[in-house]
Amino acid sequence: MIKGYLNFVLHGHLPWVLEQGTWPHGENWLWEAAAETYCPTLSMLANLFEQKGYTELLTVGITPVLAEQLSHPKFKDGFEGYLQERIEASFKDKDHFKWIGETATAKLAQRWVDYYSSVKQQYTERFHKDLLGGYKYLQDSNVIEIISSGMTHGYLPLLGKEETINAQIKAGQAIYHKHFGRENSQGIWLPELAYHPEYKWKNPLTGEEINRKGIEYFIEKNKINYFIVDTPLLRGGEGIGAYLKRFDALQLLWKQFENEKPELVGTGDSIYRPYLASKEVDFFTRDDKTGILVWSGDIGFPGDEWYLEFHKKHWPSGNRYWRVTGKETDLGEKEIYNPEKIIERLDENSKYFVKIAKDNLLNYYNQENSPGIVVSPYDFELFGHWWFEAIGFLERVLTQITEDEEIATTTGAKYLASYPSRSEKIISLPEGSWGEGNFHWIWLNQDTQWCWKYIYECEKTYLEVVKEYREKYHSDFDNITRIINQMGRELFLLSSSDWEFLISTWGARDYAEHRVTLHYENFKKLNQLFKDACTNPLTDQQMQFLKKLEEEDSIAYAMNVQEWFVIQD
């Protein structure tokens, strides 16, 4: 008898990097994530289904901007070339280590040769250069549920106009339908799990005040059934924080905001069941007890001394040959990786994770006499990329739970279909996110205010331009339509929450600042192009500029972007 369910939610997201640099920042991010996370996880899940018949295993979030990149011809061809480069670089490492007499490290280099060769074989032969098609196959086979997100992961509580909040969600549904075939994604990953309720909001920079609707209004309007929030938004208190320990710059920034953080007061309700956010929309709550086991590098599994050290890499290949060793161990003192210890550590860690999840579920069942649900959401890229062994961990957890007689894996939509909200009471959630302090400071601070100034300016301008476009018919209508749609793409890309995050963490600050400036300038040039095209035909030079942007920033290519910014009654 099943007394409870576990729902892993793996949130896959990267900003638009195609045609925007390669190394150290840009397209390499996409190649790395595909090689270490997206492709091997797809292969693992397909194996569990095809070899063991496992279904309803977990939920995969694929943001629209990530889906658009994984389906792009430049990615499909470039990824194969990247894998071949990694194979050749690993061979060179092997030869080097053999030459200097480091036999153990040479064997690890051969492991990298084998690893990248395997991923290349999976990608080209098993999945036919179509990772999205592979995930769609798992969705259609009832192995996973795929959920969408905001178009470019815009930070919804800070966007200045309700039309742009709605556009992020509405565009996400359109891209989901485009790639995964179904009319609507039943669930949504709110970018950074950031939520705001209905209230009179004052723009933090412009001072404009608007009576804006809660995020659940736009979720319901776009026919989405559920979303996920961090634990403190339901229960109060403080969350585990998803990023602070990973970035030194955030720890310095946090000291400036720690005394200003809002104190979230919760309901005291259980996190192991869904609740109503509106009459038609449910929400699930992140389980902090299982969450910290995977998120934390201090007390969680990724900090295990035997796992692969993420931060130390061999030059020039970039391969990793060292283990964590100890959380206080300097990079120069890291010890050589020992693959023979990994199976033992994965077995122990996965069993402990399952025990914690099962104990929580059985406790809930004994109290409520109904199966509850542990929702464990993570950045997808944590599995395989940040924590290299995590896909093996995930496979073990899924297998152990599937073979358990009292608990099972599931997805959000499957659970709601069997166990809908048992109360008509609507829970009023506070404003917050899963960032440190459960608020907005990572994305809005003294270092990022200028980004929001640009966003607010472009939001206002774009809504005015769309209004004029829809009310007037211009002689050069086809080209004007192209301009308007490209302006929408630039606004989407400008609004990515990644840029503020990278600026605050110093993870790739120069790159992020360049991207914000680039999309802002592109938007302004397009706005001038719109004004020119309303009175005169475009020149060849102007047409070349438009075509160049359409090729470089081709998210939602050939789709009528401007329609997403109009809220229909």
Question: Annotated catalytic sites, by residue?
Answer: 192, 379
User: Rounded to whole angstroms, what are the CA distances from 368 to 7, 228, 399?
Assistant: 19, 22, 27
Sequence-separated (6 or more) residues with CB below 8 Å from residue 478: none
- CB-neighbour burial class of residue 15 (10 A; exposed 0-12, middle 13-18, buried 19+): buried
Sequence-separated (6 or more) residues with CB below 8 Å from residue 238: 232, 264, 437, 438
* Ranges of H-type helices in 369-447: 390-402, 412-418
**Euclidean distance between CA atoms 198 and 109, whole angstroms:** 55
Structure tokens at 3: 């007394």
- CB-neighbour burial class of residue 7 (10 A; exposed 0-12, middle 13-18, buried 19+): buried
Place of tokens 């977990």: 58
**Euclidean distance between CA atoms 195 and 215, whole angstroms:** 6
Cβ(158)–Cβ(440) below 8 Å: yes
Helix 390-402, helix 342-368: angle, nearest 10: 40
Structure tokens at 106: 């040479």
> 3-class secondary structure for 285-318?
EECHHHHHHHHCCCCCHHHCCCCECCCCCCCCCC
Residue 290 half-sphere exposure toward CB, CA atoms < 13 A: 29
Instruction: Name the residue type at position 462.
Output: Y
Residue 541 belongs to what H/E stretch?
Answer: helix 540-552
**Number of residues written out for the chain:** 569
Sign, CA dihedral 25-28-30-35, equals negative
CA angle 152, 387, 66 (to 5 degrees): 20
Looking only at the bridges linking them, the beta strands covering 187-189 and 144-149 are: parallel
**Residue 472 main-chain phi, psi, to 5 deg:** -120, 150
